[in-house]
Amino acid sequence: MSGSAAAREAQMDAEGGRAVRPEDGGGGTGGTGGAGGTERSERVTALLARLTGMLLAASGEGASEVAQTVAQAAAGLGARTSMVLVPDGATLTVVLDGRASTVAVRAFPDVARLDKVAALKPWAHRVSLGRTPLAEAERRLAAIDGSPAPYPWWLKGLGIVLFSVGFAPLMQPTWYEIGSTAALGLVTAVLAVAAGWWPRLARVLPLVASTAVSVLVLEVFARDPVHGGAVLLMLPALFYFVPGDLLSAAAAELAAGFLTTGAVRLVYALFLLLQLYLGVMLGVYATGGDTSAMFDLAAHADLPRWATFLSWVVFTVGTVLAFAVPWRLLLPLLGLVYLTVAVQSGATKLLGEVGGTFVAAAALGALATAVARRPDRPPRMLLALPGFFTLTVGSLGMRGLTSLAGGHPVRGFHDLLSMVTTVVAISVGLLLGSVLAQRPQPLP
């Protein structure tokens, strides 16, 4: 192995990828020839590997567009790619000037830095046009990858609190629910921010957060049944961790034919859900309580309609801050959230809960796909995310598991069955909306 190849492999190892021995494609040195062609091939492979890792790291809501984006960027650089994809890794093969190089890339899928997602789309489009020099493409991609978070840590924490408070009226439209969620959301926000500084905490963050919230609710906020069931008081503060979006994204990938990524993501989402459930039950045992306290009887609603209406503004602002969405996208995202809620409310009156969710998901998928067509617009995943959160069903899974543990099997199985049905409705609705909004491709 040459010195330059060894250096390139070491660089890829540091970025989460590992270069595998390049192979001659049978065409000699290709158009550039010699050492110059080898160096360019290595640089293009390293660039595309870095792009793949960045896309994987931002693929918490699905990895269906990773291979296509990398292939388009490669075409602009005169290369061809093929990819074997799993949720946390990819095997990327790059063919350029008669040489084939294979790179293994690993990155944990998340949605914590959506500002990078917004910046990658125009970068990939410019490169795909074939008019961007390789050095400039490398420099711009490195700048995106190394860019600092758009908001300081305390604004991210505030975003998590607002994200939880905005969701609270969906559980119980009461002032007490909002107040208790603000206090509990502050606890989860502190833990989430601390996990960014302490990697060991990040590994068990859902378990620690759900245990802390469970203890506080049972000891402080749920002592009087008039305020509603303990589970309904816990869920808004844990909504940042509840994997309802992962469940729906996994089902959408399965429906679209991405079997490996969909199946693995589904298993991981169920594991996170069980981890949250275990944390809640540990809180019950730590307080010496009885599992029969795990009921979800709602309190009497005392929240005016204007407050419920404005809660979606709070929710969307929280989403922008918590997930590092560029601030300029607040108004478009807010419009999509209100559209999704309005369509779901109207369709539910006509078709029932499952039908309303399906129609709302289809409308969200169609509009997000249509808006994202232009290269200067945000990607579809980013546009759909806040509206997607309004439809997620992880809370049904949590309620079902805790109801079963509390000795309420009928209610528990009802919630779990509703979760499965709603997950399918969301995934198929999003897929249908996306397909309907896509421009027809010309026949070859």
Q: Which residues pair with 99 in a beta bridge?
A: 24, 96
Sorted by where each begins, the domain ranges of the chain are 3-145, 153-437
Phi, psi of 289 (to 5 degrees): -85, 180
Task: At 169, list the tokens.
Answer: 């009226």
The whole-number pLDDT of residue 332 equals: 92
Label the pairing between strands 17-24 and 89-96: unpaired
The whole-number pLDDT of residue 382 equals: 86
Kind plus residue range of the DSSP H or E element containing 317: helix 305-322
Q: Which residues pair with 104 in a beta bridge?
A: 18, 91
Task: At 404, list the tokens.
Answer: 């079963």
Half-sphere exposure of 387 (CA within 13 A, CB side): 35
The alpha carbon of 281 is separated from its chain's Cα centroid by a whole number of angstroms, namely 26
The whole-number pLDDT of residue 28 equals: 37
Q: Are 140 and 123 in contact (CB under 8 A)?
A: yes
Distance from C-alpha of 355 to C-alpha of 423, rounded to nearest angstrom: 12
Q: What residues have CB less than 8 Å from 422, skipping those under 6 apart?
A: 353, 354, 357, 391, 393, 396
Q: What is the pLDDT along the chain (444 residues), one digit of tens a residue?
A: 443 333 333 334 434 444 444 444 443 334 445 556 688 889 999 999 999 999 988 887 677 788 889 999 999 999 999 999 888 889 999 999 888 999 999 988 888 889 998 999 999 999 999 989 999 999 999 999 999 999 999 999 999 999 999 999 988 889 999 999 999 999 999 999 999 899 899 889 999 999 999 999 999 998 887 888 888 888 889 989 887 777 777 777 777 778 888 888 888 888 888 888 889 889 988 988 766 666 667 778 889 999 999 999 999 999 999 999 999 999 999 999 999 999 988 988 898 888 888 899 899 989 988 988 888 888 888 888 888 788 765 445 445 555 555 555 545 555 666 777 777 787 788 788 888 887 655 433
pTM of the model: 0.83
Half-sphere exposure of 435 (CA within 13 A, CB side): 9
Distance from C-alpha of 394 to C-alpha of 26, rounded to nearest angstrom: 52
- Determine the residue type at 61: E
Distance from C-alpha of 163 to C-alpha of 404, rounded to nearest angstrom: 28
Tell me how long the chain is. 444
3-state SS, 278-306, equals HHHHHHHHHCCCCHHHCCCCCCCCCCCHH
The alpha carbon of 406 is separated from its chain's Cα centroid by a whole number of angstroms, namely 31
Strands of the sheet with 17-24, listed across from one edge: 17-24, 99-106, 89-96, 80-86
Task: At 362, list the tokens.
Answer: 């289809």
Distance from C-alpha of 38 to C-alpha of 46, rounded to nearest angstrom: 12
Angle at 387 between CA 230 and CA 60, to 5 degrees: 85
- CB burial of 83-112 (b: ≥16 within 10 Å; e: otherwise) equals bebbbbbbbbbbbbbbbbbbbbbbbebebb
